[in-house]
Structure 1
Amino acid sequence: MHHRATTSRRTLLTVTAAAAAAAATGATASAHAGASGDRRLHGLISRMSLEEKVGQLFVMRVYGHSATAPDQADADANLKEIGVRTAAELIARYHVGGIIYFSWAHNTREPHQIADLSNGIQRAGLDRPTPVPLLISIDQEHGIVARIGEPATLMPGAMALGAAGSRSDARRAARIAGSELAAMGIRQNYAPVADVNVNPANPVIGVRSFGADPQAVAGLVAAQVRGYQAAGVAATAKHFPGHGDTETDSHYGLPRIGHTRAQWEALDAPPFRAAVAAGIDSIMTAHIVVPALDAAEDPATLSRPILTGILRERLGYDGVVVTDSLGMEGVRTKYGDDRVPVLALKAGCDQLLNPPDLALAWNAVLRAVRSGEISEARLDESILRILRLKAKLGLFRDPYVSHEGVDRAVGTRSHLAAADRIAERTTTLLLNDGGLLPLDRRERPNLLVVGADPASPSGTTGPPTATLATALTELGFTVAALSTGTAPSAARIDEAVAASAGKDAIVVGTYNVSATSTQRTLVSRLAATGVPVVTVAIRNPYDVARLGGQRATLATYSWTDVELRAAARVIAGRARPEGRLPVPVQRADDPTRVLYPVGYGLTY
């Protein structure tokens, strides 16, 4: 097998080296070079069987830390869900063009293992009848959505970067993140989020968005596109045509966006236009209904008027279009799982991401081509876009990575220091009655840290309460910590009040406080003790509108370590709060009135 893989790879390099070089060159290269590259890629496509062509469209999950020798439980999970035991078997049977990594699929244990998995996947891709490297992808948005944690560098998430408002910070964060992904063999990142979050009740986007100002979001999206792609990673603007104004999570239902066409042009379109102008490599679709853009009210992922009529023809985008996960309920509500991939292709998609039943989806596309519902010429259009991207990324030249490369790039001291500096510029001070902050460890040495401890994203080493307590301890305070949860019980609140005795200040981490949340009771009871209370909104910044009694409020936009450490430095006066709200905070008693506008933020 090793000999065959080597021979296949040599053949592939001979066939496609010029294509790779042509696709990688900029606008100053001659049109002849581009045409030559496409001719060679067309030649590669012509040698593919129909089954191989169909496979190139699919990007699939697979369980396991190894491409050929996963743990038994992961092999069993693969057999149950996909009908194969390993990533290598998946590639051999279905000829898939891409693999998506997940932490829950045990793909991302640590950087060297990730690199080895990536190499194993590429070897399997080059050991098939028509050898083609795979495009390995991931959702590494940073902030609350990250599949790889320490020792990789974790950057502030999108809304935190929106609070900083610095395009140079956004670009640098993406370039650092991209360089680390590329070192591990991951060459397509499903980031940045280009949705404009104008709905505080949005359950699926929220702090994953840069903010509520379309032009500000557009500038940060373009900056991150350039950062990722300068590092050799395909950026992916998502979720077209815009998922920012919904109260339905498309994982569990089909959201409906009521924007008029004019509203869409003014609010949702600017970040995607900016991404296209910045040379975005891929754009991800949204499983949402926008009647103003498609009267048939098909999900955008399956809508030809939206994907071909608007994205391709009106915005002039000819890069790769990837669906959001086809396992999400939003795309499965109106049509069956056998029709969804076919309709997505007919709408204008190229990559079909993570179908719930790969055999069903793969065979459905195969039948659609054989029956003439989808022409082979249409199939070839998508494959050419995918191969152009692989060539641009240099995967035909050399798809492999090394442990040495990982060690040079991943979690380096300079990267970690940059993350800390960027995070400090994102922390937002919303309230500071009587100049309580910064806390002086000589005047207020004894602190109590309590609060919500939601499920941890990959950028955390422990519960946020413990992380904040540790960071403040390292800054010279004496700290006691108590986790009270996202819905503290009466007994837990009593325990927190008792623990506040003798303390000089209390820091409370809050998480998505609602009108009925017992987090409100916790804060008011603690404030009633007379000990000064500092609240830290560790996700949505809207918490401040529903709380009372606190003397100071910070917003961190996420509870990953890098953002909580920055908040601790701000609390202790080791850093200045420089963040400004990227979204408005409405009054809790009258949502038509703004409590804190976009751009608000205090400092000292």
Structure 2
Amino acid sequence: MYGELSELTLRQKLGQIFMFGFDGHHVPPHVQDLLRDYRLGNIIYFRRNVSHSEQIIALSQELQQQSARWNSIPLSIAIDQEGGMVARIDRDVTVMPGQMTLGAAGSAKYAYDAGKISGMELAQLGITINFAPVLDVNNNPLNPVIGIRSFGEQPEQVAELGVSMISGYQEMGVAACAKHFPGHGDTTADSHEELPAVMHSLDRLHRIELVPFKAAVAAGVELIMTAHVQFPALEPDGKPATLSHRVLTELLREELGFESVIVTDCLEMKAISEGVGVGEGAVEAFKAGADLILVSHRLDLQLEAYAALEQAVLAGEISEERLNESVKRVLSMKQRQQHKLQQAKASSDFLPIGAAESIERCQRMMEQAVTLVQDQAGYLPLDRTEQTLVLWPEVRESTQVDEVIEQELTLGKQLNQLGLSTVELVIGTEPTEEELEQVVHMLQQERFGQIVMGMYNASSSSGQAHIVQLLSKLSEQQKSKVIFISLRNPYDRSLLSSSDTYICAYENRPQMLQALSLALVGSIPFQGKLPVQL
């Protein structure tokens, strides 16, 4: 271990149980102060911190160098690089498929390879923890925050693919994190915005939600992240899991036997910050059994959380023995990660960032996942002789999970490269009145033999739903062959009839668009299988 606990000051110990984030591509002065004065031991990156690979490497090195001036214990640097639509880094790296894409491909080997490739690239960027995989069983079509971040709705498949991905990450020296314990899949609210609840019985939780987490514990996952979700069957006092001793200590530690690091989801999320508050939340989460407290954004809230926990220890509300338990877990995790990283770098499997072999492997995964749900009218493959209209949905506003991605490649451009004559109209995922009028005008003024509509969470967008209705009528009247494609949430099927042609692609990343285009023109077969019921 990195030194003896008896040699560490209280602030050095407290620094190891907090993880903070910051803005910018360089280490700002206030983070230098946190490293010096508070001995901060853990950092989280978001998209705001990353641009290209050389910049990320330089930032990681700068952070470690600044930390080493005051602390002999190396920093942990974490990120949410789940793959697919939740990937903070999307330049110069191999962006692996999202988890529902891997669920549709249905291969444990692919899940392992996705973790391994992503892990070896993150390690070279100086990142030591990936907050992935998501082990939530997504069996609620109305879930606003998990959805395609899950492998699917079958707990056994989520467990199998999740464990395989964990193995891939950790063999490459990056600590994996199973989230969001004990399960955020069957909620209709987003814990970024409010406090959700899962009302199922204890028996049901053990049969569904807990299955993947039990498998992850048995497989040696290094971290498990808590859910800001109420589980009355587990915690009758109404506390969210993050603040519940019954959930974190009695269930996860004692019953399931998890011995490594419990990390909270960010305490700034409204489920906590607008409930007990960030300061009290940090104390209550630690008393419940958490080892690592995550406060991602605001310096004032980070200092509030640190001060509250420090005061709780000084006042004897939290014993130093309890503090030592968590510090030991964090330091042991760091040491194991460093050892595995050294082994991985010494192996012949350790490929450079963005290696052709990695990109090719990712492409095969995408091709295996594209799913044809229904095509009763026989509109596929696309006719290369017909003029084709492509309606492309563009994400224009970032949310807590979705982020605006600069994307040069669209489906229309990709189909055009394959020899189709395409006209592409880009609309927002929340189309404006002007965009809706433009769609109607185009359909009235020109005849298109084929129309391909990309749908992006269309079931929650009145504008996209209106366009779907217009196109379904055109198809029924046999004026155009209309193909609907989900580029995110497969539950958009609810807007269609059984006679509409429908494909699920699960994400709009460039390599998925290449695979999707090849399937649309018949160059490769549709091979994916739906990992959820529609």
TM over 0.5: same fold? Answer: yes
Q: In 1, Cα distance between the equivalents of 2:170 and 2:230?
A: 30
Match of 1:481?
Answer: 424
SS of the residue corresponding to residue 338 of structure 1 reads helix
Q: Structure 1: which 5+ runs fail to align?
A: 1-18, 20-40, 68-74, 76-84, 586-604
Match of 1:570?
Answer: 519
Match of 1:66?
Answer: 26
CA deviations 1:441-461 (Å, max 9, x no partner) are 2x33x2111142224867954
Q: In 2, Cα distance between the equivalents of 1:187 and 1:537?
A: 34
Deviation, 1:88, is 2.7
Match of 1:349?
Answer: 290
Alignment of 1:299 onto 2:240: yes
Deviation, 1:397, is 9.6
- Going from structure 1 to structure 2, the CA distance change for 1:361 and 1:212 (only over 3 Å counts) comes to same
**1:426-445 equivalences in 2 (<5 Å):** 426-441=369-384, 443-444=385-386
Instruction: Name which of structure 1's ranges 171-180 and 481-490 shifts more when overlaid on structure 2.
Output: 481-490
SS of the residue corresponding to residue 390 of structure 2 reads strand
SS of the residue corresponding to residue 163 of structure 2 reads helix
Q: In 2, Cα distance between the equivalents of 1:360 and 1:490?
A: 45
Q: Could you tell me which amino acid in structure 2 is paired with residue 547 of structure 1?
A: L
Match of 1:600?
Answer: none
- Going from structure 1 to structure 2, the CA distance change for 1:57 and 1:396 (only over 3 Å counts) comes to farther
CA contact (8 A) 2:172 2:340 kept: no
Q: In 1, Cα distance between the equivalents of 2:466 and 2:280?
A: 50
CA deviations 1:221-240 (Å, max 9, x no partner) are 11111111111110000000
- Going from structure 1 to structure 2, the CA distance change for 1:60 and 1:527 (only over 3 Å counts) comes to same
Match of 1:265?
Answer: 206
Deviation, 1:145, is 1.0
Q: 1:312 aligns with which of 241, 253, 266?
A: 253
Deviation, 1:210, is 0.7
Deviation, 1:440, is 3.6
Q: In 1, Cα distance between the equivalents of 2:303 and 2:192?
A: 22
RMSD: 2.3
Alignment of 1:415 onto 2:352: no
Deviation, 1:44, is 2.8
Q: How many residues align?
A: 517
CA deviations 1:559-603 (Å, max 9, x no partner) are 222222221111111221111111111xxxxxxxxxxxxxxxxxx
Match of 1:596?
Answer: none
CA contact (8 A) 1:149 1:459 kept: no
Alignment of 1:97 onto 2:46: no
Q: 2:530 aligns with which of 581, 588, 593?
A: 581
CA contact (8 A) 1:149 1:458 kept: no
CA deviations 1:296-331 (Å, max 9, x no partner) are 111111110100000000000001110000111112
Match of 1:381?
Answer: 325
Alignment of 1:120 onto 2:80: no
Match of 1:390?
Answer: 334
CA contact (8 A) 1:178 1:228 kept: yes
Deviation, 1:498, is 4.3
Deviation, 1:520, is 3.0
Q: In 1, Cα distance between the equivalents of 2:437 and 2:392?
A: 13
CA deviations 1:242-276 (Å, max 9, x no partner) are 01111111001111110110010001011001111
CA deviations 1:521-561 (Å, max 9, x no partner) are 31332344411111111111111221249742111112222
Match of 1:172?
Answer: 113
Match of 2:163?
Answer: 222
Q: In 2, Cα distance between the equivalents of 1:433 and 1:491?
A: 33
- Going from structure 1 to structure 2, the CA distance change for 1:363 and 1:489 (only over 3 Å counts) comes to closer
Q: 1:147 aligns with which of 88, 91, 110?
A: 88
Match of 2:141?
Answer: 200
SS of the residue corresponding to residue 429 of structure 1 reads strand
- Going from structure 1 to structure 2, the CA distance change for 1:257 and 1:458 (only over 3 Å counts) comes to closer
Q: Could you tell me which amino acid in structure 1 is paired with residue 491 of structure 2?
A: Y
Alignment of 1:52 onto 2:52: no
CA contact (8 A) 1:390 1:396 kept: no
CA deviations 1:135-177 (Å, max 9, x no partner) are 0000011122111012211111111111111111111011101
CA contact (8 A) 2:111 2:164 kept: yes
Alignment of 1:506 onto 2:451: yes
Instruction: Name which of structure 1's ranges 448-457 and 90-99 shifts more when overlaid on structure 2.
Output: 448-457
SS of the residue corresponding to residue 452 of structure 1 reads strand
Once the two structures are aligned, what percentage of the paired residues are identical? Answer: 40
Deviation, 1:86, is 4.7
**1:178-189 equivalences in 2 (<5 Å):** 178-189=119-130
TM-score by length of 1: 0.82
Q: Could you tell me which amino acid in structure 1 is paired with residue 33 of structure 2?
A: E
Q: In 2, Cα distance between the equivalents of 1:520 and 1:458?
A: 22
Deviation, 1:66, is 2.0
SS of the residue corresponding to residue 485 of structure 2 reads strand
Q: In 1, Cα distance between the equivalents of 2:430 and 2:288?
A: 44
SS of the residue corresponding to residue 162 of structure 2 reads helix
Q: Could you tell me which amino acid in structure 1 is paired with residue 62 of structure 2?
A: G
TM-score by length of 2: 0.92
